[in-house]
């Protein structure tokens, strides 16, 4: 293993990646470069720096990067242009963050002349796939270290023992049985897996949820919200333009307040098993509903249906970790092409878990033609007799077949 | 037009079809057979008989049929097996009723030796297409009379004048400007179109909704609900087995009480225009959520994804009126084949517009394997090292391409 | 009909469009502008000018345009980037020409301030749809005159009588029973329909085919051919770069000589009926085979599969006349995006109806990696053990399901 | 490794599987059961028995099964119902045989109470995946031994040394450098890979092909052929009904004689690399062409298009080894459902590599309606005016969008 001299570790500063850091130093005798990303997960990142320094990492080998704007602008928003949902329910909050982390990690290998990367994802989940497909797609000769697939610290007890033996600070919660859930958070969502959730016939505990109040605890007063879109992307809330990550943060705040965006799901992992996850995606839930609404008046029918037909495939690509694959990029060109006309505003009502579209319009791109749609006299804008021929020819093949049967 | 001797009219007893009845008698000199279906729209049907008799229809030419069980069992439930949604939102409440009406209408043409059928749908909407594709598909030589595409009574004033001239009773509401909305109801939903809704930037009025209370007005106490499925179909609620149409009626009652299932939508009609509709589908909204949940633990991943990929196409077929077309039937065989294992129960929580899945299980068909899914020690049920090879080979094509670029 | 002052007629100079010209002058009292396109159909076009002048058309109202390069470069080649085939067999030779004719015809309405366009396609075929969808898509207020759907000259006899009465020159063949087939030709193909072909159980006559010799009559000596591609488009033949339309003409010559590209097909028209057509597409048949071959070494697997999945839909769009529709354009962006790496050469062997790929390579973009593909020792380029994990995880969902069954 | 007592080996009697047999006895100390299938590969199978006996296999542990009829009837024909082609060219001759071998091998593990199966496929190819997905799907607890992924005999030299050391007879060709190609044969095809073919810019040698003459060497006289289909399956040739495997053998003989069915391809393997293969599929090439032709007059347009849209996915499933997966089965129900009406005959002409459809008809299920299709007077069977309305409504969305742009 002596051929790896420098390794870039995706480092949160938590117990697991702290143990990994030490293990890399010991096992690989490698110089470790730590990379900690701010994706809006809502944690202080400076403690990670302190811990890294304490673990002997050189200051120039500690990367703490604020990726929030890039995350929302170049990953979350493009994904929402497709109204992306995995398996009918999941908004892909974890999946969409992994390609950015992988990208930055590879950039750092180039900056610091490292041969390897390392992540703390387990061998059972999707994240290892998402990270590593990103690594390999962006730097084909990269060496990947996935400790959970390599080491013998597979039980929590062994991990704690290793930490204590090596002087790694262990928070009280870990000593008391560990976090009740495996969690992941970023500006799009927070997820919960494991422990009490592992039996899908157990109801999730109210105390688990962190970002949203329950619908019951949400305000009794509904709140209206105006969202404006340009080329399919949200650009302002209630008339106030903001940076992409600020917009999503604002939607999270509003959604969280109104009990919006909780999800309890059994999903199919790429590695072949079913797993149960709970998710809070307050801002994303609002955004999806609004995006569909603005598309409903600005997008051509067949274009909308083409998008709907391709969406599950696009969602699976992201879920499975193929963001950097050429087929995802090809689909993205199609999706982005369709969003040129997706301009206008949507009015929503938020109330106790509900996101209700109440109106929508586009000054420049509305394809809704009141003259044609009206049930009242349309002054000849639409000739009802045309429908007769339309139906006759659409029915022709069925009539020929039906005649044959008799 | 003397070649049409007998015509079967889809007859509600309302103003429009009453005028049509008279117009058929005058214009076509035809014997009119009236057909009124009980699809659970919640209206008394006997008044239709009285009106038909009064209009001179012979008793043996008056058909009033209770189709509720057939409707839910053979149309609604098969559609829900596919988790069918049109354009991301619409549960197809109107679309799914039309094929059954068309079928029964054609059956009656055969029973009564009629050459023609007639419906009261306008030349601008989807319903004319759905009716007529059904007619032609089931009886290729049928003659179709679509008065709204033929006559000159295109304005409400002319219609009223014709009614009064011909002694057709006109309800007060029609004299006072007509119903505020164009509505359609059956056990699956009630829809609203036209008038105040024709401007998609207008918010719908609270007074419009008939089947559901607003989330605000719904009980402050959540209600739990246990639904049991067999082969993808709902079979009991809270442990009580019921006929299909009773189950849906019960879900409607529960959903309506809790403010569930309202939708405000701009949709794309098959005839080429966008239109704005509001829908209440309380039971269907609950059913869709529960069906997805029971599938989540009983359906194979790739089967589920195949269904998701095909669903928008299947939804368009139903929306556009192709229920009786061979491609819909071919898709149905696939969908039905997948539902053999969709057996189990789902627990839901209903609260102020929210349908929340809280747990699900299947005694016989759960593919959720706790031993494999667990983040804790799995005793070797899953070998984490396998994931390394899995990722390597999935990444291979990307690595080769990436190497080439450099 | 006096509101149409000027109409642009798609005019070939043949009998049908000559009668139409006169009929427009009489029936619509309109000034007729004739438009004749050179799409490489292999006919002299100047006679059309003489006939138009003789029919009283002003010189400035006669448009004879050489559209060959635009046709191949902007229509044929983009379509071949998708390996487009309709219903498994048909290379869309007629379909792909119609959008260009429609586009130019609309341009001329703008140049000459005309309100209407007119074409000579019948009311039974696809071409009327293709023309008119193009017209409406490019100029929504255009008035369309489709004589075959309007006039009473539906039989050949009436047409001839009209021609003679109005002094329109009628070629001998028409007097002797008319052309044996309805034909359409351009640089991509020539098609035959009608008459002897109307019974699909009749074999086509050898004498019908015009562009290709029969395989039997083709040379006994095979001919090798080197084709070079850039970004998915053919750019040179046997090392000689040519303009797009010259390349296709050259392939037609070679294919015709070797008996390549005949097709005898029953196809499904958009208007609802089946029809039998025979087609000669010598150059296109060669091009399709070569394009697939160059893609086979330069295109990523998943991108290739995505294209294959979408191809039938794209083909139907073109067949049905939706070239100018936004969904076709959206698909085109995807297709074009995939062709960036489709660079290299293909060696073919032409022999008596066969197009045989014998070799292919790309200096810049080959994804074929001999080191990895070899069955001999690969020096560790590929780790066979990886396949074990790959298979295990891909099999996992099937194993869990299979275990449940037992 | 002592936990494996009995292992069922897919055994051809050739060098590789003979070495594997010995290696299993030595390495695993296991009782070996040999399984040799007759899939119509055209080799004597009794020598395999003799070799197995000589290697010490007990007579009751030697299985030599004639699977030809099952292969064609239950695997090849169902696949051809879908007009299945992988990557636009490949008829899946190898892929479709693997699931049957896996099935029988698992059956034998049950008959002989074995815990493990073993195959001789390499770790680089698709066949290992196809075998093992079959094994796991049919018996989830099966142990799989894949020697090529385990042992150290990775070079030909080591393999030969092992054989000689262990008294395994080695044919002269192996000593002289080995077979020039890696081949696989069954009733559907013979394939060639490796060696001279590993460079895709090399032309394949004429001497390589075994089943077909070259088009040049084929008879100068064309041969006509009548094929009859029932429910999508071939049932007779030139009026003679035969068993499924006899039909395919007959087509192979005819195709081989006329130089039909050679293919030279670069394909994408499931394990992530491109590989170059040459294939001879004489009968299959004829069958595919004929099946499409009989479908062309008996299948509804939208059903045909649905099949075309799904075919590439179905082909990939088979290519990748998912025959026994539930999504393949679900697709099969759809495909089989569509074939009820695929009854009739097709007349073909075979000539020097060409398969030419010359006519087709169905007494019972032809949807071709000459009265409607004719360009001559149809006596009102089709009302051309209907096309106007059909086009107008199909164009409506494009007109609205186009108007907006101006």
Separation between Cα atoms, residue B27 and residue B21, nearest integer Å: 10
> Nearest residue on chain B to D401, judged by CA atoms?
B273
> Worst-scoring range by mean pLDDT, B237-241, B349-353, C401-405, D110-114?
C401-405
Torsion sign across C-alpha atoms C37, C38, C44, C49:
positive
The 10s digit of each residue's pLDDT in A92-111 is: 999 999 999 999 999 999 99
Distance between D59 CA and the closest CA of chain C, angstroms: 31
Over residues D201-213, the mean pLDDT reads: 96
Question: Strand locations in C106-166, DSSP E?
Answer: 116-118, 143-145
Classify strands C274-280 and C262-268 as parallel, antiparallel or unpaired.
antiparallel
- Structure-token match 């709970």, residue found: A278
Tell me if D95 is assigned to a ligand binding site: yes
pLDDT of residue A375: 63
Q: Is B130 annotated as a binding residue?
A: yes
Would you say B116 is a known binding-site residue?
no
Whether A247 has a binding-site annotation, put simply, is no
Interval B215-225: pLDDT, tens: 999 999 999 99
Measured over the CA atoms of residue B211, residue B216, residue B217 and residue B223, the dihedral's sign is positive
pLDDT of amino acid C193? 93
**Which string of DSSP letters, residue by residue, matches A69-130?**
HHHIIIIIHHHHTTT--BTTTB--TTTTTHHHHHHHHHHHHHHTT-SEEE----TTSSHHHH
Query: Residue A302 and residue D382: Cβ atoms within 8 Å?
Result: no
Contact A365 D404 (CB under 8 A): yes
Residues in B touching A365 (Cβ below 8 Å): none
* Contact criterion met (CB < 8 Å) for C394 and D129: yes
Nearest residue to A71 (alpha-carbon basis) of A103, A116, A30, A108: A103
Q: Which residue out of D73, D182, D264, D361 is catalytically annotated?
A: D182
Q: Is D220 annotated as catalytic?
A: no
Contact D330 B397 (CB under 8 A): no
Structure tokens at B375: 């983040």
pLDDT tens for A131-175 read 999 999 999 999 999 999 999 887 888 899 999 999 998 887 777
Phi/psi-derived region of residue A277, left when phi > 0, alpha when psi is between -120 and 50, beta in every other case = beta
d(CA B238, CA B348): 11
Q: What is the mean pLDDT of residues A115-132?
A: 97
Residues 6+ apart with CB under 8 A from B86: B92, B95, B267, B312, B315, B316, B318, B319
CB B138 within 8 Å of CB B103: yes
In sequence order, what E strands does C159-238 have? 182-185, 190-193, 223-230, 233-237
Task: Give yes or no for a contact between D188 and D280, defined as CB atoms under 8 angstroms apart.
Answer: no
What's the token pair of residue A7? 């390794």
- Confirm or deny that D16 is annotated as ligand binding: yes
- Partners of D394 on chain B (C-beta within 8 Å) are 272
B-chain residues near C404 (CB < 8 A): 365-367
To the question of whether residue A120 is assigned a binding role by annotation, the answer is: yes
Q: Are C281 and C254 in contact (CB under 8 A)?
A: no
pLDDT above 50 (res B1): no
Q: Looking at residue C86, what DSSP letter applies? A: B
- Structural domains in chain C plus CATH codes: 6-73+97-172 (3.40.50.620), 185-361 (3.90.1260.10)
- Say whether B205 sits in a helix, a strand or coil: coil
pLDDT at C311: 98
Detail the residues of C annotated as belonging to a binding site for L-citrulline: 90, 95, 126, 130, 182, 191, 267, 279
CB D404 within 8 A of CB A376: no
Asked if D390 and A390 touch (Cβ cutoff 8 Å), the reply is yes
Query: Interface pTM (ipTM) of the complex?
Result: 0.96
Contact A330 C330 (CB under 8 A): no
Determine the distance in angstroms separating the CA of B330 from the nearest CA of chain D, rounded to an integer. Answer: 5
| Per-residue model confidence (pLDDT) at position B373 | 74
Distance CA B64, CA D165 (A): 89
Quick count: other Cβ atoms within 10 Å of Cβ A170?
15
The region of weakest confidence among B158-167, D136-145, D259-268, D281-290 is B158-167
Q: Is B34 annotated as a binding residue?
A: no
Sheet of strand C262-268: strand arrangement = C182-185, C190-193, C274-280, C262-268
Interface contacts (B, C; CB < 8 Å): 64
Counting beta carbons within 10 angstroms of the beta carbon of residue B41, is it exposed (0 to 12), middle (13 to 18) or buried (19 or more)? middle
Chain C residues with beta carbon closer than 8 angstroms to that of D151: none
Size of interface A-D (CB pairs under 8 A): 64
Q: What average pLDDT does range D203-223 have in this prediction?
A: 97
Per DSSP, B29 falls in state -
Say yes or no for a CB contact (<8 Å) between A404 and D301. Answer: no
Among candidates A367, A388, A401 on the partner chain, residue whose Cβ is nearest the Cβ of D400: A367
Cβ–Cβ of B393/C390 closer than 8 Å? yes
- Tell me: pLDDT of D280 over 80: yes
User: Binding site annotation covers B224?
Assistant: no
Answer yes or no: do D397 and A369 touch at CB < 8 A. Answer: no
Contacts of C172 by beta carbon, 8 Å cutoff, 6+ apart: none
**Is A2 a known ligand-binding residue?**
no
What percentage of chain A carries pLDDT values higher than 90?
88
Mean local confidence (pLDDT), D341-365 = 98
**In this complex, do A306 and C331 lie within 8 Å of one another by their Cβ atoms?**
yes
Task: Please name every residue paired with D349 in a beta bridge, in sequence order, or none if there are none.
Answer: D224, D356
In this prediction, residue D100 carries a pLDDT of 98
Q: Torsions phi, psi of A56, nearest 5?
A: 95, 10
Is D1 a residue whose pLDDT tops 50? Answer: no
Residues of chain A with C-beta less than 8 angstroms from the C-beta of D401 = 300, 367
pTM: 0.97
Separation of alpha carbons A100 and A109, rounded Å? 14
- The beta-carbon neighbor of D327 closest among B302, B313, B400 is B302
**Residue D126 among known ligand-binding residues:** yes
Q: How many angstroms separate the Cα of C92 from the Cα of each of C88, C184, C279, C288?
A: 11, 12, 9, 12
| Interface with A, mutate which of C330, C367, C404 (most A CBs under 10 A) | C330
Maximal C-alpha separation, chain D? 86
Distance separating alpha carbons of residues B361 and A127, to the nearest angstrom: 26
Residues in chain C closer than 8 A to D129 (CB atoms): 387, 390-391, 394
* Inter-chain residue contact A377 with B297, CB threshold 8 Å: no
User: Quick count: other Cβ atoms within 10 Å of Cβ D155?
Assistant: 11
CB contact under 8 A, D367 and C394: no
Q: Is the pLDDT of residue A36 over 50?
A: yes
User: With a cut of 50, which residues of chain C have pLDDT below it?
Assistant: 1
Q: Measure in Å the smallest separation between the Cα of C185 and chain B Cα atoms.
A: 33
Q: In the prediction, which pLDDT does A169 show? A: 84
User: Given its phi and psi angles, is residue D244 left (phi above 0), alpha (psi -120 to 50 degrees) or beta?
Assistant: alpha
Q: What is the least distance, in Å, from the CA of D21 to any CA of chain C?
A: 20
Q: State the smallest CA–CA distance between residue B42 and chain A in angstroms.
A: 24
Active site residues of C: 16, 98, 127, 182
SS3 D402: helix
Rounded distance, CA A93 to CA A105, Å? 19
Instruction: Report residue A189 as tokens.
Output: 């969502």
Burial of C207 (C-beta count, 10 Å sphere; 0-12/13-18/19+): exposed
Q: State which H helix or E strand residue A175 sits in.
A: helix A172-175
Where in the sequence numbering do the catalytic residues of A fall? 16, 98, 127, 182
**Nearest CB partner across the interface for D330, out of B273, B329, B337:** B337
* Chain D residues interacting with chain A (CB cutoff of 8 angstroms): 300-302, 365-367, 369, 372, 382-383, 385-390, 392-394, 396-398, 400-401, 404
Instruction: Give me the pLDDT at residue C375, please.
Output: 63
D17 close to D162: Cβ distance less than 8 angstroms? no
First to last CA, chain C: 77
DSSP at D87 = T
Strand (E) positions, D186-336? Answer: 190-193, 223-230, 233-237, 240-241, 262-268, 274-280
Distance CA(B130)–CA(B99), nearest Å, equals 7
Rounded to whole angstroms, how far apart are CA atoms B4 and A220?
Answer: 61
pLDDT recorded at residue A1:
46
Locate the chain D residue with the closest alpha carbon to A371.
D400
CA distance B246 to chain A (A): 27
Which residues does chain C have within 8 Å of residue B396's beta carbon, measured at their own beta carbons? 372, 382
User: What does residue A345 show for φ and ψ, rounded to 5 degrees?
Assistant: -130, 160
pLDDT of B303-347, one tens digit each? 999 999 999 999 999 999 999 999 999 999 999 999 999 999 999
Quick: pLDDT tens for B267-311.
Answer: 999 999 999 999 999 999 999 999 999 999 999 999 999 999 999
Under 8 Å between Cβ of B100 and B71: yes
Which residues of chain B are at the D interface, by a Cβ-Cβ cutoff of 8 Å?
Answer: 268, 271-273, 300, 302-303, 305-306, 313, 322, 325-327, 329-331, 333-334, 337-338, 393-397, 400
pLDDT attached to residue D2: 52
> Which is more confident, C4 or B373?
C4
With an 8 Å Cβ cutoff, are D397 and A302 in contact? yes
pLDDT at D349 over 70: yes
Known active-site residue D236:
no
Please tell me what DSSP assigns to residue B86: B
- Give the DSSP H/E element, type plus range, for residue C104: helix C98-111
């Amino acid at each position: 293993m002596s051929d790896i001299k420098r390794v870039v570790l995706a480092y949160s500063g938590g117990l697991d990646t702290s143990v990994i850091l030490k293990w890399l130093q010991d096992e690989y005798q490698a110089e470790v470069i730590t990379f900690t990303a701010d994706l809006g997960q809502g944690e202080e990142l400076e403690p990670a720096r302190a811990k890294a320094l304490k673990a002997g990492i050189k200051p120039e080998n500690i990367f703490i990067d604020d990726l929030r704007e890039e995350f929302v602008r170049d990953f979350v928003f493009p994904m929402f242009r497709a109204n992306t949902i995995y398996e009918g329910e999941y908004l892909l909050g974890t999946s969409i963050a992994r390609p950015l982390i992988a990208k930055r990690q590879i950039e750092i290998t180039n900056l610091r002349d490292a041969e390897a990367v390392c992540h703390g994802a387990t061998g059972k989940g999707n994240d290892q796939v998402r990270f590593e497909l990103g690594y390999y797609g962006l730097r084909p000769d990269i060496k990947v270290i996935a400790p959970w697939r390599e080491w013998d610290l597979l039980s929590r007890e062994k991990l704690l023992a290793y930490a204590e033996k090596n002087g790694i600070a262990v928070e009280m919660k870990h000593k008391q049985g560990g976090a009740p859930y495996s969690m992941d958070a970023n500006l799009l969502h927070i997820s919960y897996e494991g422990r009490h959730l592992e039996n899908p016939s157990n109801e999730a505990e109210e105390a688990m949820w962190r970002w949203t109040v329950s619908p019951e605890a949400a305000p009794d007063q509904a709140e209206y919200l105006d969202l404006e879109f340009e080329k399919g992307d949200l650009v302002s809330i209630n008339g106030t333009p903001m940076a992409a990550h600020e917009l999503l943060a604002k939607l999270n705040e509003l959604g969280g307040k109104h009990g919006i965006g909780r999800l309890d799901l059994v999903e199919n992992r790429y590695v072949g098993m079913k797993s149960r996850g709970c998710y809070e995606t307050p801002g994303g839930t609002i955004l999806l509903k609004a995006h569909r609404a603005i598309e409903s008046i600005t997008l051509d029918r067949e274009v909308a249906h083409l998008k709907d037909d391709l969406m599950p495939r696009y969602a699976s690509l992201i879920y499975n970790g193929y963001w950097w694959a050429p087929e995802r990029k090809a689909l993205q060109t199609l999706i982005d092409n369709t969003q040129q006309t997706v301009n206008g505003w949507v009015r929503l009502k938020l109330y106790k878990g509900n996101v209700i579209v109440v109106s929508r319009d586009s000054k420049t791109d509305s394809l809704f033609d009141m003259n044609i749609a009206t049930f009242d006299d349309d002054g000849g804008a639409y000739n009802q007799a045309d429908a007769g021929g339309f139906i006759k020819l659409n029915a022709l093949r069925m009539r020929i077949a039906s005649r044959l049967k008799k």
